[in-house]
């Protein structure tokens, strides 16, 4: 059957184990952000899947459309080139894996490594060969908005209110960067450890609206020396940096249907982990059609099977070995940027 012609390229469990191990090894990045590539890898997987539209059955993690300027250049995806660049050495080592599988698998491994739940992951996504099936920009949420916007965005993907609150718990991880989204800061004191701390802090702290020098409005909480709310933090010891919340995070508190879930997840970490694992697995499967055996049967997969795109070039002068419109060369540029940052750091210490 023609549809199965590349089926033999489906990775085996043993091959995938090697990739998982390699992801675990790359998470430790002392010169990057809070020392881990984990949070930005989670965001990469979420943004690759979160373009899904249930009504038109377009978008989602199949295809790895973010390799193309049309999707990768969406301002909502600013900064995710770091995540993609972290994974490029793995693509070089395991050229058989599709970018779409690599990006989603990396997030699941990262969440587990950062202390989060085991999330079920199924492979078989293919890589688009051009940008014709890449969804339009503007499908990802805007942190400056409120509850109505969250419902508009997440209902489109097929999620309900409980799932919106559970997914937002990923903001236990990572931080906002002024040069990416315009927002600045982290949600919790230890942003590389997956927990339900985000919900606890949402409820415990008195969040104050503030406008950053760049004109962006967010919420902040600056811990006073002897403030009783400091007890809400699990991790102690160090003097905390001020924490932040996006307007969309605060909307979970003020909305009568969202808030009960914030309260439940703050009180019950196991419940949050269980719900998060289920909803993140659902997110990664949006738009992926499978047959009874689990094989992906989307049109593009049926046509060409498991089609792994060639690794993007690392050098700016390389000939066009990428599909039309594909963003290339970002790994090298970012490596240089990170090296420079490291040298600056070392210089400052001298």
Binding site for ligand HEM (CB under 6 A): 39-40, 42-43, 46, 79, 141, 143, 150, 167-168, 170-171, 173-177, 180-181, 183, 246, 248, 280
Q: How far is the CB of 173 from ligand HEM (least distance, A)?
A: 4
Least gap, CB of 156 to ligand HEM (angstroms): 12
Q: Which is nearer to ligand HEM, 275 or 311 (CB)?
A: 275
Closest CA to 334 of 78, 127, 116: 78
Could you confirm whether 47 is annotated as catalytic?
A: yes
C-beta of 102 vs 107, nearer to ligand HEM: 107
DSSP 316: T
First to last CA, the chain: 66
Q: Nearest CA to 287 among 295, 278, 296, 276? A: 296
**For the packed helices 259-267 and 197-204, what is the interaxial angle rounded to 10 degrees?**
120
H helix or E strand, kind and range, residue 69 = helix 69-72
Tell me how far apart the alpha carbons of residues 85 and 73 are, in angstroms, rounded to a whole number: 15
Q: How far is the CB of 127 from ligand HEM (least distance, A)?
A: 22
* Catalytic-labelled residue, pool 46, 103, 121, 187: 187
Q: What's the closest the beta carbon of residue 248 comes to ligand HEM, in angstroms? A: 4
Tell me how far apart the alpha carbons of residues 67 and 31 are, in angstroms, rounded to a whole number.
Answer: 25
Q: What's phi and psi for 271, nearest 5 deg? A: -65, -45
Is 187 a known active-site residue? yes
Give the nearer residue to ligand HEM in terms of CB position, either 183 or 273. 183
Q: Which of 47, 82, 171, 275 is catalytic?
A: 47
Whether the Cβ atoms of residue 142 and residue 302 lie closer than 8 Å to each other: no
Q: How far is the CB of 7 from ligand HEM (least distance, A)?
A: 31
Point out the residue whose Cβ comes nearest to ligand HEM: 174
Judged on CB neighbours under 10 Å (0-12, 13-18, 19+), 72 is: buried
Nearer to ligand HEM, 37 or 97 (CB): 37
Distance separating alpha carbons of residues 43 and 38, to the nearest angstrom: 9
If the CB atoms of residues 67 and 171 are measured against ligand HEM, the closer one turns out to be 171
Catalytic residue positions, numbered: 47, 187
């Amino acid at each position: 059957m023609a549809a199965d012609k590349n089926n033999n390229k489906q990775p085996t469990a043993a091959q995938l184990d090697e990739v998982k191990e390699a992801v675990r090894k790359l998470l430790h990045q002392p010169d990057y952000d809070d020392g881990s590539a984990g949070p930005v890898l989670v965001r990469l997987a979420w943004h690759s899947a979160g373009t899904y539209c249930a009504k038109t059955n377009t978008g989602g993690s199949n295809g790895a459309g973010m390799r193309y300027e049309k999707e990768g250049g969406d301002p909502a995806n600013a900064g995710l080139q770091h995540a993609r660049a972290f994974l490029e050495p793995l693509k070089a080592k395991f050229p058989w894996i599709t970018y779409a599988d690599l990006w989603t698998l990396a997030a699941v491994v990262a969440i587990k490594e950062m202390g989060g739940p085991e999330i079920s992951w199924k492979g078989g996504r293919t890589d688009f060969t051009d940008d014709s099936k890449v969804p339009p920009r503007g499908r990802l949420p805007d942190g400056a908005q409120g509850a109505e916007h969250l419902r508009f965005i997440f209902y489109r993907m097929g999620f309900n209110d409980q799932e919106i609150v559970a997914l937002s718990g990923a903001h236990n991880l990572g931080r906002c960067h002024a040069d990416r989204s315009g927002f600045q800061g982290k949600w919790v004191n230890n942003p590389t450890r997956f927990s339900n701390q985000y919900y606890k802090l949402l409820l415990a702290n008195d969040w104050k609206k503030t406008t950053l020098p760049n004109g962006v409005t967010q919420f902040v909480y600056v811990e006073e020396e002897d403030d009783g709310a400091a007890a809400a933090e699990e991790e102690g010891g160090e003097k905390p940096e001020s924490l932040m919340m996006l307007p969309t995070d605060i909307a979970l508190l003020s909305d009568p249907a969202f808030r009960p879930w914030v309260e439940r997840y703050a009180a019950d970490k196991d419940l949050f982990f269980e719900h998060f694992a289920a909803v993140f697995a659902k997110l990664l499967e949006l738009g992926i059609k499978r047959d009874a055996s689990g094989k992906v049967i989307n049109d593009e997969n049926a046509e060409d099977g498991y089609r792994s795109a060639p690794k993007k070039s690392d050098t700016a002068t390389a000939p066009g070995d990428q599909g039309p419109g594909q963003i290339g060369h970002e790994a090298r540029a970012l490596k240089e940027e990170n090296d420079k940052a490291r040298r600056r750091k070392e210089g400052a210490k001298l």
